[in-house]
Amino acid sequence: MFEIVFGSGLGFWCPFCATCVDSVELRRRNTAYVDDELNWLIACEECHQADFDYYAERWADYYQGLM
């Protein structure tokens, strides 16, 4: 539990891929929720990119439906 909260000597634990890396940090998501806490993600760079790509596809579907 200590490593999850404070990180280990190798980095911090990413809650999505469950690996310990240096790139874990609080990142802005590609979302527009009213509750701003939902617009942020604690993840490594790779998991953040996957999350960003997922929502980019959702936004593309949304905007295509408006036309």
> Is the pTM value of this prediction over 0.85?
no
Residue 1: the pLDDT is 44
Judge whether residue 7 has pLDDT over 70: no
* Rounded Cα distance, 36 and 2, in Å: 28
pLDDT digits (tens, 9 = 90+) for 24-56: 889 999 999 999 999 999 999 999 999 999 999
**Domain count of the chain?**
1
Identify the domain containing residue 26 by its residue range.
2-66
Q: What is the pLDDT of residue 10?
A: 56
Q: Tell me what the mean pLDDT of segment 55-59 comes to.
A: 95
